[in-house]
Amino acid sequence: MCKILVLLLFSFCFFIVTNAIVCRDGFTLINNNKCIAFLPPYFDPGYSNSEYRCNWLGGNVVSIRTAIDNTAIAKLAINKGYLDKIWIGLKCWEDNNPDNCIWADQQGNASSYNNFQPGNPQTNNGSCVYMIPATGKWVSGDCDNVRFTVACETDIIGACTHKFGDYCYHPIVGGTNHDEALNICEQLCGGSLVSIHSPEENEYIRGYFIDPKITRIYIGAKMSNAATNYWSDDTDWDFVNFNHSNINDGLCYTMSTNDGKWNSINCGRSLPSICKWKASSSCQATCTGPKYREETGLITLLTSELSYNQYRGIPPCYYVLHVPNGLAAIWFNSLQLDPNSSIELYSGTSENSTLLANITQENQNDYYKSLTSSSQFIKLVSNQCNDNCDVTNDYSWSALFGPNYGASCGEVLYTRGVITSQNYPNNYPNNYNCTYYIQNPGGYFITIYFDHFETEENHDFVNVYDQKSGTLQYSFSGNCTQYLFGSEKSMRIEFTTDGRNTFSGWSAHIDLV
């Protein structure tokens, strides 16, 4: 009964919205053929900076091929309050000759339709072109030293932040195991881990991660137990680039970002990866709300996805996080908010849900800890700065979310998760004994990180045992904050308290590597 209720809620709240939206959040549909958004002037002057921002949003500076579109764009700009000059995606090389003006989408010149103000294009005044919203007229202007609003367009279905051929690509920068990565890709437009079909595509993917710390990533290649290679997205196995393929090293494959070669690896390792999906699939990509994430035990990495500067001018992004079993919990592992942004977290999806936290630059250091909702849901609203922003620094955030398993004793944790002492963050009971079991059959390490630890010293203990041998490995009491690295495949954590004095207890993140 409960499950049905949850599914109905899901359909009601999100499917309808998803189907109705043909433009990603922040973009407006005009004439049923273009999604348009205006991005206010960027800190760094120049057309190319604005173009870059449109590209980041999965689009381009707008190309205008009909009078109807031109009028609609001018009108929309006025409605949205953009009354000053607006860059359009046209560049010109010859005075008074629209034939020598090329559109940003690379598909032809402005001979068949243009709306230049008399005397333009005037290349002495610059090779870029801006529109004056009040008249809809186009005027030549400098590309480099000015800061104008820019009109971006994206396709009406889906949004690709990175496109190669007919496919969209999206990185999962935080490490996950192979199954989790597949799960995340599935949520991104029904995609899968990247399959690779040509040396060009291989190079495109290799060039994706500019972070030098990322030396290898999962790709969608996998070996069956019968030692046959296949792609997770079921496409043809028509291209290989192995350095090393050996079933004894595991059934999954990585690509080295150094030389693009593929190597066998155990699927339980935690690595970055890249998702891929058909550009024609109808879906919403980056920062198009509401983003619905449902977790059945895995913890997904959420990130601000774009760097802060690319987000300017975009309305709040929001996520609905759902944990079907247990209480939803979230853990920020990076928080660098700009002075004008905030992240609001609510204990549910309704407008009256309790505010769990309102994170800003001022208080962000207090939130490197888990926050647990009082329901199966967390609503996360990320409000970006839109105006008058600090653009001298780059800002971003990322978080994990998933079920909080701390609610009851005696449970086995098979995945990453959060466990806490009873009543946490309120005082734990006296004369209490609670045992948690952690199993990591596929991986190498179990990592425990206490983000809060306060028990009665030498009386109330957290004891960590190797489950197999039964040996006590660590024992904590008092005020501690600790990382533990255990090489065990299974662990037992016992919390025992005596009959006197109680404290706030502890909250621990368990990571399986």
Ligand X SMILES: *[C@@H]1O[C@H](CO)[C@@H](O)[C@H](O)[C@H]1NC(C)=O
Which spans of this chain sit near ligand X (rule: CB under 6 A)? 99-100, 108-109, 111-112, 119-120, 122, 125, 139, 243-244, 256, 259, 261, 263, 339-340, 342, 344, 350-352, 355, 358, 360, 387-390, 433, 435, 454, 456-457, 478-479, 494, 496, 503
Cis peptide before 290 (omega within 30 of 0): yes
In the chain, the amino acid numbered 319 is: Y
Q: How far is the CB of 83 from ligand X (least distance, A)?
A: 19
Amino acid at 175: G
- Kindly state the smallest distance separating residue 53's Cβ from ligand X, in Å: 18
Task: Return the number of the residue (277 or 503) whose C-beta is nearest ligand X.
Answer: 503
Which C-beta is closer to ligand X: that of 322 or that of 416?
A: 322
CB neighbours (10 Å) of residue 504? 17
The nearer residue to ligand X, 161 or 241, going by C-beta atoms, is: 241
Q: What's the closest the beta carbon of residue 194 comes to ligand X, in angstroms?
A: 18
Instruction: Give the shortest CB-353-to-ligand X separation in angstroms.
Output: 9
Q: Shortest Cβ distance from residue 361 to ligand X (Å)?
A: 9
Pairing of the two strands 412-413 and 433-439: parallel
- Name the nearest CA neighbour of 154 among 3, 9, 38, 274: 38
Tokens describing residue 362: 């001022």
CB of 40 to ligand X, least distance (A): 11
Three-state SS for 460?
coil
Q: Which residues contact 400 (CB under 8 A, 6 or more apart)?
A: 174, 299, 300, 301, 302, 330, 331, 333, 416
Which amino acid type is present at position 154?
T
The distance of closest approach from Cβ of residue 110 to ligand X in the complex, given in angstroms and rounded to an integer, is: 8
What own/partner pairs with CB < 8 Å and gap ≥ 24 does 481-488 have? 481/450, 481/451, 481/452, 481/453, 482/448, 482/449, 482/450, 482/453, 483/447, 483/448, 483/449, 484/447, 484/448, 484/449, 485/445, 485/447, 486/445, 486/446, 486/447, 486/448, 487/444, 487/445, 488/440, 488/446
Nearer to ligand X, 128 or 139 (CB): 139
Residue among 94 and 200 whose Cβ is closer to ligand X: 94
Is the CB of 118 or the CB of 441 nearer to ligand X? 118
Please identify, using beta-carbon distances, which residue of 84 and 456 lies nearer to ligand X. Answer: 456
Q: Rounded to an integer, what distance in angstroms lies between the CA atom of residue 86 and that of residue 454?
A: 57
Smallest distance, ligand X to C-beta of residue 107, A: 10
Nearest to 512 by CA among 215, 179, 212, 232: 179
- If the CB atoms of residues 59 and 98 are measured against ligand X, the closer one turns out to be 98
Minimum CB distance to ligand X smaller for 123 or for 187: 123
Q: Which residues are CB-neighbours of 31 under 8 A, at least 6 positions away?
A: 68, 69, 72
What residues pair up with 301 in beta bridges, in sequence order? 400
CB of 355 to ligand X, least distance (A): 5
CA pair distance 27, 237, nearest whole angstrom: 38
